[in-house]
Amino acid sequence: MNFKTDINYRKQSLIKLLNTVQNHEDEIIKALYDDFKKPAFEAVATETSYIISELKHTIKNIHKWAKPALVLPSILNFPSTDYIYKEPFGKVLIIAPWNYPYHLALCPLIAAVAAGNQVVLKPSELTPNTARIISKIISETFDKNHVACVEGGVEVSQELLSQRWDYIFFTGSVAVGKIVAQAAAKNLTPVTLELGGKSPCIVDETVNPKLVAKRIVWGKFLNAGQTCIAPDYLIVHQAIKPRLIDCLKEEIKNAFGENPEASPDFARIVNEKNWKRQISLLENENIIVGGTSNASDCYLSPTLLDEPRLNSQVMTDEIFGPILPILSYKTEEDISNIVNKYEKPLALYIFSENKAFVKTCIEKYSFGGGCINDTVSHIINRRLPFGGVGHSGIGAYHGKLSFYIFSHQKSIVKKANWLDLPVKYAPYGDKLSSMKKFLQWFS
């Protein structure tokens, strides 16, 4: 077994992983339901099918991505052949969150294996059923000296972070991201941090409110709002706000019926602690839709809040649940005053038919990625880098980029021996003026 240098071995490992995940797909869907009633449709659409597709794409391209990439040589090195050799970092630690517990554990793992690394994966303890299946899949597929899954809670993460790694890939909260970055700094270990934040969704007065409402309700209440790139809050032009609220109410009903608790398409909050936090966010707020809850099932209905204060808890914390605050604006300055109050978000969404307004928003605000006239969908295209900026994260991945982030790009100049130009060697004598001319020609 030499996964470091043998690309065929890596490819065979990924083919084996593909077979294993396909064989266990029903168990994964059930585990996701057992963990927080993730609807089967969402489990397939956002977790299992994503991983199958990522595996197929990686298996198809691994040889192309892994082979040394020739680059044009510098004339100053003439004669030479220059290339980039993709070296695995070595020992990689992946720490995953609970909200897409299968997708966010397996997606970086596929790339780390493809790039030739030895991997330890720590899935989230908050989704124990899914963690168990992930562990089973990994032990059935890989030799434990190649890829291992370590289940457990915060103390296990802390123990792992106290060890030395060659790369750490972390997905989770900003607060824990800082802990990971500190632990990594001790050994100058490179990191990817896929974090969260408050992702705004701006709606101007030029839109079709019915269509906008449908796209917002989909992106916000998918996974019961527990999506890192879900719209966290709306900033709506005051002229369209009443109509948009009516449409949002209508679309919530269309998606989840009169009683979302009875809908098979609406997930639950992952645990009691997080459920209590959601409920506390509603205190003293003006609830215009929803707010219905059931502690025994960690249920909170899709909830709309009207004009919370910017310094209320719901507007200072990342919501990460089915609560959508609606703020209004009159001028572009009002929007800036809200968006710039917070750290750079992971996502930003703009609904508008006004090209100039869209351009201004994209130029003015720094955010990981986003959509114009939709929510969440930018994650689907693996040709788009996925990641944050500032407090919402460091680094980006997906598709080919994932392979690259788990590889050190080693630059090699292979000098030919049939010619050895004397210019660069001492004694320099009167070579300075001819070297200057030479550099002028080629710069």
Closer CB to ligand NAD, residue 58 or residue 124? 124
Closer CB to ligand NAD, residue 281 or residue 289? 281
Binding region for ligand NAD (CB under 6 A) out of 172-180, 301-309, 406-414, 420-428: 172-180
Instruction: Decide if residue 95 touches ligand NAD (CB under 6 A).
Output: yes
Residue ranges of E strands in 65-134:
69-71, 80-88, 91-95, 118-122
**Cα–Cα distance for residue pair 186/183, rounded to 1 Å:** 6
**Paired strand residues for 70:** 83
Closer CB to ligand NAD, residue 194 or residue 251? 194
Instruction: Decide if residue 278 touches ligand NAD (CB under 6 A).
Output: no
Instruction: Decide if residue 122 touches ligand NAD (CB under 6 A).
Output: yes
Rounded-to-10 torsion of CA 88, 93, 99, 100: 30
254: left (phi over 0), alpha (psi -120 to 50) or beta: alpha
Binding region for ligand NAD (CB under 6 A) out of 51-59, 89-97, 256-264, 406-414: 89-97
Closer CB to ligand NAD, residue 85 or residue 404? 404
Instruction: Decide if residue 157 touches ligand NAD (CB under 6 A).
Output: yes
Interface of this chain with ligand NAD, residues 304 to 333, rule: CB under 6 A:
318, 320
Q: How far is the CB of 41 from ligand NAD (least distance, A)?
A: 19
**Which of the following is catalytic: 42, 47, 194, 318?**
194
The secondary structure of residue 358, as a DSSP letter, is H
Q: Which of 48, 124, 223, 402 binds ligand NAD (CB under 6 A)?
A: 124
- C-alpha Rg value of the chain to the nearest Å: 25
Do the Cβ atoms of 198 and 342 come closer than 8 Å?
Answer: yes
**Is residue 194 flagged as an active site residue?**
yes
Instruction: Decide if residue 129 touches ligand NAD (CB under 6 A).
Output: no
- Taken in order 283, 232, 100, 131, the sign of the CA dihedral is negative
- Taken in order 54, 348, 304, 236, the sign of the CA dihedral is negative
Distance (Å) of CA 93 to CA 96, 195, 321: 10, 16, 28
Q: How far is CA 246 from the centre of its chain?
A: 32
Interface mask toward ligand NAD for 200-239; x: CB under 6 A: ----------------------------x-----------
Could you list the residues that contact ligand NAD (CB under 6 A)?
95-99, 104, 122, 124-125, 153-154, 157-158, 161, 171-173, 176, 179, 194-196, 228, 318, 320, 346, 388, 393
